[in-house]
Structure 1
């Protein structure tokens, strides 16, 4: 995971100011490096456009820190890469993924040194579009005079752009003191700027050329499987949601349904990519010290999604590895009103304790470190402006209430109960990889509005609501969350947003994901406890039952801002959609 800064200006090198440098370094504390280039303009050989490039690195792949930007002078390529490439096509990537991708680009473009600009553009676009994993990138191709940039199709990594009359900037996060207008780079394709013909001059703005996903699908990398079905990447690009409706012959979701087996297999595969082979952050520590130091931590409310991640992770990691469960609770003066223990009465704290106890019963040979992160109201106020700046350009009351919880949870500073005692000691998680359950509600119908849509318009309404949520997840959540969480030099990973799992969930009929059913058709046989589960995310609830987590399977959905009590912290009457003042 890295921080990216890239600027184009017609007269000078524009570098990030001191504050932006600090924020970039917070994202990538392991390495920081800069490059500067002057590129001639086709319209005026005497003038050159100025490019300033800077990257910071949080090293989580390979056995050594690899500084960025990556540069190959012979190939004329410079790459800033922020993310995790788990696979290219169907080939898993081991070692440092930024290096692997860079070398593949060099090899591919070396064969097209004398090719047209359009050909080189297609080669670059096709290769990067075949990457499975969360990423954003900026690539400078000196030979063609083009700058390529973009985010993965789901938008799991942040990249902002700022357009001015004489300059154009890209960055993992923005600065907000001036009149700069930063906006999130859209996820509808990759973007290209031709420096030789499309630079700021004579009052004209830079105009990126979009290589949209629809145009990418016409290229050769989007071939179908032999059986005619769409590949996982193609489902992601095209956004195909199976809108098939059930008939009276359709089988309701039960513990014996094949989709229960399939979601377990897909979730296991997703977690294998995300939690195995994480390098130790303390290479000089003795082996016996490392066994108690967590490599991963889970953003843990005690709810269904995160508890399932914890349960399946237990099946994959060696038993001696500790897993940290980060549980955040806030003092909310509007609710607590001088309650002696405001944190222990938070809904997510109560649920968190219950779920970790069930994990300990089901998985007794694992050390589950439950980290109680208590946030006094004074500390919320102290950090409020920093959080607002990190989450921008998002700027609503709901964005802030969610970002507050993520910010303090990702900081990872709290207390843990000492073994065999009632004493709680101060603790800060050493884990640099955080796991989040984001995406489960959107894919499997976990929000209350999904139940409301079904009540109004049956499966047609439910499918429309699911399609809307899936289509906007990057715009609503992921960029914001990346900017807030990464501030602490940690990387968030989303097992439910794995390309293969995502594609499978999109292709699976809706009645094999949710327990919603019409009144005319039975949804239960009256015998199994599984039939009394809530319909929202019933597939995940059935998996929890299968894995011995009956209590977790029955947990009701609760939004993070209400579970941690970050919503409506003052007496003002506000709505979540209200803009921050």
Structure 2
């Protein structure tokens, strides 16, 4: 996990000077606190802020430059990569790459990008779709002057593209690195690659993402379970200590349970040399005292036998962080920012012990997990529900994944998301949607709960069938109310009225406060910030929710449970 920047400009441009590139790249230092370097040439420059996960030795530092690696077959190529390529060993062993007769010289998964670019030639359609993982990358071929930028299928890793009228093109992991040097900035769309000749080309077009799923093969229960277990296994690839974020919700409990099962089967040691091995691995949770998440996670950690850590915060310290969170997250989306703050605390805690964590992000988009799905139609065979899953899945890169990336990378921590493994997503989205409809006594994500209900996974019933809580409710039933009251007190009636002329005009003073902070940091950059229709995730559904509105959950106490001291 890292921060990358790439600049393409005319020869002699001051932006390509080493000092200039270093300054822009340094704005993302928190993404990669282990090493910083740039590679500058007459018409382009690459910068990289490294968080060392695979092959943490200096030999694997980026930018990756073929000539510097001492591999003649890779001469002329250079690249910067952010993310993890989980199938890199299989790709290096493929006949096409093996024919280069250029064995890898590092243990980094990123190096495979150079080998693929050389083995498959100038058309990225021949190799980018082969990458299995989370990534944002730029590869340059100095011999031709061509370059390719690409972003993973789901948008787990961020990438922005900026342009100017005189032909400058810039790519970066975060907006803050390029916004003040570009006239136009846009989000690089997930599942696409970009070249000068062809522009944006979509390489991820799953067959399930249509209104008609007829003809797709049926899905068996064991296929769903086995695929998720494999997705977790792939994400346990690491050369450094790691753990998991454990909210005590279904998705994180399943993730941690599978991690434990795999660790015991494979004899994995999660801890650094010299650390005690009394506990299985590190888990982390965040919330206010006696909150639903704190108490549920505490119970699950006890069942798992993990080295468990809690970050209990007060409203006062959280509210003081709002300006920092807006700058770090690079958004003014209200529903998102309410949960970014506790995530920031959580990542800060985890980064003191590990460099990488697994999380449960994405399950709610695949299995209709949010509470507003209780209001979905029950007599249409799951058609409306499937359409809604597709809609919110398509926005993950602007919502949950933006939060997960920015808050963890604010503390040099990598987050991996097994539920969003593309193989698993393809299976989960092909499940008969009628099985996900909340009816006939089912609760949300009933199928997923049942798949992991056997004793071998060890999930207590109180957690296995716990009501879904979005993090902004799970960290404390009154957290949303507290943050809204604070924000509204910061905005006058006059300021709120004046803000109505803006793009995505704020509907509340809470939203207006976030917008003021964003505009101060990122002037003219408000146009591509995604704001949910109706101001909340449920606002764009084809049905009206009785449970969730722009202001939050109608009944915050509905997420309380029996494991809390008294509720």
The answer to whether the 8 Å contact 1:445/1:466 transfers is: yes
1:344 matched to 2:289? The reply is yes
1:396 matched to 2:333? The reply is yes
**Looking at CA atoms only, which structure, 1 or 2, has the larger radius of gyration?**
1
d(CA) in 1 for partners of 2:22, 2:144: 33
1:324 matched to 2:282? The reply is yes
d(CA) in 2 for partners of 1:386, 1:455: 43
Structure 1 gaps of 5+ residues are: 39-49, 110-119, 195-207, 214-232, 246-256, 281-294, 330-342, 414-427, 518-522, 524-531
Alpha-carbon distance change, 12 to 132 in structure 1, aligned in 2, over 3 angstroms = same
Paired residues for 1:146-545 under 5 Å:
146-166=146-166, 167-175=168-176, 178=180, 182-193=185-196, 209-213=199-203, 235=206, 239=209, 243=213, 259-276=220-237, 278-280=238-240, 295-318=241-264, 320=277, 322-329=280-287, 343-357=288-302, 360=303, 363=304, 367-392=305-330, 394-412=331-349, 429-455=352-378, 459-512=382-435, 514=436, 516-517=438-439, 523=440, 533-534=442-443, 536-545=444-453
Structure with the largest fraction of strand? 1
Deviations 1:150-189 (A, max 9, x none): 2111111011122233332211112288585543211252
d(CA) in 1 for partners of 2:171, 2:334: 26
In the other structure, the counterpart of 2:118 is 106
SS, match of residue 175 in structure 1:
helix
Deviations 1:361-387 (A, max 9, x none): xx4xxx312211022334324432222
1:560 matched to 2:498? The reply is no
d(CA) in 1 for partners of 2:391, 2:280: 38
The answer to whether the 8 Å contact 1:88/1:130 transfers is: no
The answer to whether the 8 Å contact 2:25/2:48 transfers is: no
Structure 2 gaps of 5+ residues are: 94-103, 268-276, 489-507, 517-567
Deviations 1:27-56 (A, max 9, x none): 112222111112xxxxxxxxxxx3222112
Structure with the largest fraction of helix? 2
Alpha-carbon distance change, 405 to 458 in structure 1, aligned in 2, over 3 angstroms = farther
d(CA) in 2 for partners of 1:323, 1:242: 43
Q: CA RMSD in A?
A: 3.1
SS, match of residue 313 in structure 1:
helix
Deviations 1:116-147 (A, max 9, x none): xxxx2x2x332112111000001112222222
d(CA) in 1 for partners of 2:354, 2:437: 36
TM-score (norm 1): 0.70
SS, match of residue 183 in structure 1:
strand
Deviations 1:167-226 (A, max 9, x none): 3221111228858554321125211125xxxxxxxxxxxxx712233xxxxxxxxxxxxx
Paired residues for 1:3-18 under 5 Å:
3-10=3-10, 11-14=12-15
Alpha-carbon distance change, 544 to 429 in structure 1, aligned in 2, over 3 angstroms = farther
Deviations 1:249-277 (A, max 9, x none): xxxxxxxx98442222112111111114x
SS, match of residue 144 in structure 1:
coil
Alpha-carbon distance change, 323 to 182 in structure 1, aligned in 2, over 3 angstroms = farther
Deviations 1:494-549 (A, max 9, x none): 0101121111112222234x2534xxxxx4xxxxxxxx651x21122102322342
